[in-house]
């Protein structure tokens, strides 16, 4: 899967660089894997502005501007939080495109509902158009394989969103 992730990261960076699109990420459950995949590609700095790894609730509020009310009402592992993370990252990094990830990679949900196990929310944004997607990891037994799967999914979905926008004008 690592090779697929590198290939997808290269495609996304090529598309962004070719259209002068600035890109960023806000990661929780993927723990920086998206950013790591992107910066493993030579020339990433042409369009990748940065990433915030916000694993705990307080970093999501302090760094990304996620509302404490959102976390209180919906949890930090919710589509609502993913959307606020997405918009916060785009604002902070002054980017046209953004990815966010939050959720539970495995069955360890702590004191939260076991129904949240293996559910990850991915946010993608391009020039004001955002989408929130749910990714089910119940078939992945390994945390790192799950992180890779979510990272690949997020990068591929952002690529599709951006490519679709430019195809309308070509």
pLDDT value of position 56: 94
Q: What's the pLDDT band for 79 if we cut at 50, 70, 90? A: very high
Q: What's the pLDDT band for 2 if we cut at 50, 70, 90? A: confident
Rounded CA separation 21/16 (Å): 5
Rounded CA separation 84/70 (Å): 9
pLDDT tens per residue, range 6-62: 999 999 999 999 999 999 999 999 999 999 999 999 999 999 999 999 999 999 999
Instruction: Domain ranges for the chain, please list them.
Output: 2-9+23-167
pLDDT tens per residue, range 121-161: 999 999 999 999 999 998 887 899 999 999 999 999 999 99
The structural architecture, per CATH, of the domain 2-9+23-167 is Alpha-Beta Complex (3.90)
**Count of C-beta atoms within a 10 Å radius of residue 50:** 17
The neighbouring-strand residues paired with 51 are: 25
Output phi, psi for 131, to 5 deg: -135, 140
């Amino acid at each position: 899967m690592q090779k697929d992730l590198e290939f997808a990261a290269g495609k996304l960076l090529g598309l962004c660089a070719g259209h002068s699109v600035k890109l960023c990420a806000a990661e929780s459950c993927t723990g920086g894997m998206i950013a790591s995949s992107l910066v493993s590609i030579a020339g990433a700095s042409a369009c990748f502005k940065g990433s915030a790894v916000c694993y705990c609730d307080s970093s999501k509020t302090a760094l990304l501007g996620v509302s404490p009310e959102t976390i209180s009402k919906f949890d930090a592992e919710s589509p609502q939080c993913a959307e606020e993370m997405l918009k916060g990252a785009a604002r902070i990094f002054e980017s046209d495109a953004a990815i966010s990830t939050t959720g539970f990679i495995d069955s360890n949900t702590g004191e939260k509902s076991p129904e949240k196990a293996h559910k990850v929310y991915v946010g993608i944004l391009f020039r004001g158009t955002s989408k929130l997607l749910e990714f089910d990891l119940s078939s992945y037994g390994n945390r790192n394989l799950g992180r890779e799967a979510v990272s690949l999914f997020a990068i591929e979905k952002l690529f599709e969103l951006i490519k679709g926008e430019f195809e309308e004008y070509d």
